[in-house]
Structure 1
Amino acid sequence: MASVMPVIVYPPDEEGGRRVRVDGEVLGRARSLRDIAEFLRRAGLDDDVDAAYVRASGLIEWRGGGPEAWGPEA
Structure 2
Amino acid sequence: MTERIHSINLHNFSNSVLETLNEQRNRGHFCDVTVRIHGSMLRAHRCVLAAGSPFFQDKLLLGYSDIEIPSVVSV
Relative to the length of structure 1, the TM-score reads 0.28
Instruction: Identify the structure with the greater strand proportion.
Output: 1
Instruction: Identify the structure with the greater helix proportion.
Output: 2
Quick one: higher RCO (CA 8 Å, sep 6+), 1 or 2? 1
Relative to the length of structure 2, the TM-score reads 0.27
- Bigger radius of gyration among the two: 2
